[in-house]
Chains A and B, each alone.
Chain A
Amino acid sequence: MELLLVLILGLLYAAGVYLILRRSMVKLLLGIMLLGNGANILIFVLGKITKGSPPVINEAYKVFQEIYADPIPQALILTAIVISFGLTSFAIVLLKRVYALVDSDDLDNLNTPEEEDI
């Protein structure tokens, strides 16, 4: 299980970095999303995966008797997912708007001579 997740997260990071280095705006967006998911899985893996022992204490005891699944990484991932959802949706709208204005998907074309505003 760990090995599979490690491979997946390596793949996600690699693909994300590769896509961010491309010049297309859509690929930039996809790259950011892949990196975000890679980071989430990284937190999950590093939180030490424990199978089948939820962090719930038996009524008879006061403390945990055996190793339990750490709930904190899951809370962190949940927060990170929500945040990256918000950021991604903003990015999609922004890139769509830029595409409509510039009429190009190439990041190198984003150099309109400056106009001024207060």
Chain B
Amino acid sequence: MIDNHILAPIFVQLFTAIAQLICWRKTLTQRYLSVGGSLIGLMVAFRLFSRVYEGGILTLNAANWDAPFGIVFVADLLSVTLVLLTSIACFAVSIFSSVGLSRQRMLYGYFPIFHFLIMGLHGAFLTGDIFNLYVYFEVIIISSFVLMTLGGRKAQLEGAVKYMAMNILASMFFLTGIGILYGITGSLNMADLSLRIQEVQNKTLVGITSCFFIIGFGIKSAVFPLYYWLPSSYHTPPSAVAATFGGLLTKVGIYAMLRIFSLIFVPDDFTRTLLMAIAVFTILTGAFGALIKTNIRRLFSYLIVCHIGFMVGGIAMFSKAALMGAVFYLIHDIMVKTNMFLIAGLIRQLRGTMDMNKLGGLYGDYPKISLLIAVVLFSLVGIPPLSGFWPKVFLFQEAFTQHQYFYVAALIIGSFVTLYVIAKMWSEVFWKNPPASEEMENLFAPMPPYKKILMVLPIGLLALATLYIGLNAEAIVKVTDIISTQLMDPSAYIDAVLGNKTD
């Protein structure tokens, strides 16, 4: 069904950013515009989600060019779910950054760039054209470069060099892959590619092309041999930026993998084994890295890597239950990881540091905030019935069915290490007596009450979303069930795109 509303989430972010560019240097107006724009974006995304959930896949042929020739935008349930989650995260982060960010950064255009980044994310989720996906990836990375370097401290710029080099390299791999793919099929439309790739005689070349995509998306989503840029750069930018990056950017890589490997390169035995090996090592290295870190944000960075492995493993098993687990985990992970970095920012605001050795006694001083944070931490660990628990059920079940015992072992180790480091963090940060040092600076207490509320509110919002995902898991399972059915059998997607002739 052709529907122009697909572009609405992209346009809301675009116009918000443009309006903020007009109000350059008026940071208060920019803050109002940012929160307002995000709220409208959230409502639009919710409307698009309910339309697709009830009415099936929507498509839009740009400039009315028929499907395989023009650029096509497709809103299937996976895309709109991610657009909805991105909008929720965007809303929370924009509230947080309106108080949690120094005015200096706002003066140099933090808010417009942030909304361009979200626009890029929406575009990447909604496009049905592989070159257009590349262009949106570039929109995302150029915005993220600016956000990463904004402020210009030494550590930040050093982190940015690594981040930039790896991401540009990933784009080059992706572009090379697209070039070869166009050479062997003569199409860029993903639905059309799905049909044409089956007619290619030279299967080896197809396999090699898929490796380019694995490397390109692997760097972006930070999987095992390619993840080093993430822990060495994510602890440097301000927490609001780190929350956007940690919650959303690596997940775009996972989304692209889900899309490309379900639609174009349906995994054969080699790809499955490769992805499974990547997944196991990603979980293990992420988990062991998290064990030794004392800085909260570095610890979270390694946990991101560890949990990316869970999802890659789900893609590697490539069955309905496995994809349900992977998509459910993706939904849970976006909400929780965004929140974790916001929490890190709040802790830094309360105590002036993120080093666990220098922290302590938060529970005694701020019991309510601590309890709120506890809910999020429990969800991350996956204590039943909270949100991290349900996807693991699917992943374990499918791993046993397919006899992937290495993955089972990695899942258990990954989950236990997550539990251990979070428990350690809880006792170090919240229960331990604060170390008797005078350098502790509380930036939170002198803030006016409305600012305090604005700082805790986004964490509460995201915690509510996490609670909803956990306690109302049946609804989420229904959604993931439809998504994984669409992913396993892409004929609905292909029909929706190619069956829509305008004449």
* B interface residues (Cβ-Cβ under 8 A, vs A): 100-102, 131, 135, 138, 141-142, 145-146, 149, 151-158, 160-162, 164-165, 168-169, 171-172, 175-176, 178-180, 182-184, 186, 188, 235-240, 295, 298, 345, 348-349, 353-355, 443
Q: Majority SS of interface residues in chain B?
A: helix
Report B443 CB to chain A, min CB distance, Å: 8
Contacts A39-B176, A114-B295, A118-B349 given; does A98 touch B158 at CB 8 Å: yes
Cα distance, A20 to B164, chains bound together (Å): 12
Interface size on A, residues (CB 8 A): 40
In the complex, residue of chain B having the shortest beta-carbon distance to the beta carbon of A44? B179
Q: Which one of B154, B176, B188, B354 contacts A72 once the chains associate, using CB atoms below 8 Å?
A: B188
Q: Say yes or no for A87: interface residue by CB 8 A criterion.
A: yes
A107 within 8 A of B: yes
Pair B238/A32 contact, Cβ less than 8 Å:
no
Chain B residue at minimum C-beta to C-beta distance from A28: B165
From 15 to 53 in chain A, residues with beta carbon under 8 angstroms from any chain B beta carbon are: 20, 25, 28, 32, 35-36, 39, 42-43, 45-48
Query: What's the dominant secondary structure at chain A's contact region?
Result: helix
Check B179–A118 contact: CB distance below 8 A. no
C-alpha gap A36/B160 in the complex (Å): 20
Inter-chain contact A47/B183, CB cutoff 8 Å? yes
Residues in chain B near residue A118, CB distance under 8 A: 100-102, 238-240, 345, 348-349, 443
The answer to whether A36 touches B172 (Cβ under 8 A) is yes
List the interface of chain A (C-beta within 8 A of B): 20, 25, 28, 32, 35-36, 39, 42-43, 45-48, 70, 72-73, 76, 79-80, 83, 86-87, 90-91, 94-95, 97-98, 101-102, 107, 110-118
Of the A-B pairs whose beta carbons lie under 8 Å apart in the complex, a sample of 19, sorted by A's number, is: A35-B172, A43-B183, A46-B180, A46-B183, A47-B182, A73-B182, A79-B131, A80-B175, A90-B145, A101-B154, A102-B154, A110-B162, A112-B155, A113-B155, A114-B155, A116-B355, A118-B101, A118-B102, A118-B240
**What's the minimum C-beta distance from B122 to chain A, rounded to whole angstroms?**
19
Whether B157 and A39, one on each chain, are in contact in the complex, defined by CB atoms closer than 8 angstroms, is no
A116 and B348 in contact, given A35-B172, A42-B176, A110-B158 (Cβ under 8 angstroms) = yes
Most chain B Cβ neighbours within 10 Å, of A39, A45, A91, A118: A118
Q: Which of the residues B158, B171, B178 comes within 8 Å of A111, measured between beta carbons? A: B158
Q: Which of B160, B237, B355 has the most chain A CB atoms closer than 10 A to its own CB?
A: B160
Query: When chains A and B are docked, how far (Å) is the Cα of A116 from the Cα of B142?
Result: 24
Complex Cα distance, B152 from A22, in Å, reads 25
